[in-house]
Amino acid sequence: MTIQVGERIPDMTLIKATADGPQPIETGEFFGGRKVALFSVPGAFTPTCSARHLPGFVDKANELKAKGVDEIACTAVNDAFVLQAWAKSAGAEGKVTMLADGNGDFARALGLTMDGSKFGMGQRGSRWSAIVDDGVVSELNVEEPGAFSVSSAEFLLNQL
Helix and strand totals (H; E) in the chain: 7, 9
Please list, in sequence order, all residues whose beta carbon lies within 8 angstroms of the beta carbon of residue 146, skipping any fewer than 6 positions away: none
Tell me, yes or no, whether 8 lies in a domain: no
23 part of a folded domain: yes
In a domain, 1, yes or no: no
Q: What is the pLDDT of residue 146?
A: 80
pLDDT tens by residue, the chain, 160 residues: 799 999 999 999 999 988 888 999 999 999 999 999 999 998 887 766 666 789 999 999 999 999 999 999 999 999 999 999 999 999 999 999 999 999 999 999 999 986 766 776 657 788 899 999 999 999 999 998 888 889 999 999 999 9
Q: State the pLDDT at residue 22.
A: 92
User: Is there a contact between 147 and 52 (Cβ–Cβ < 8 Å)?
Assistant: no
Residue type, 105: D
Range of the domain at 139: 13-159
CATH classification of the domain holding 56: 3.40.30.10
Is there a domain that residue 116 lies in?
yes
Catalytic residue among 14, 49, 74, 96: 49
* Amino acid at site 18: T
**Structural domain contains residue 7:** no
Asked whether residue 5 is domain-assigned, the answer is: no
* Residue 51 C-alpha from the chain's centroid: 16
The secondary structure of residue 143, as a DSSP letter, is P
Residue 85 maps to a domain: yes
pLDDT score of 53: 83
Residue 33 lies in a domain: yes
For 42, counting Cβ atoms within 10 Å of its Cβ (0-12 exposed, 13-18 middle, 19+ buried), the class is buried
Instruction: State yes or no: is 49 an active-site residue.
Output: yes
Total domains present in the chain = 1
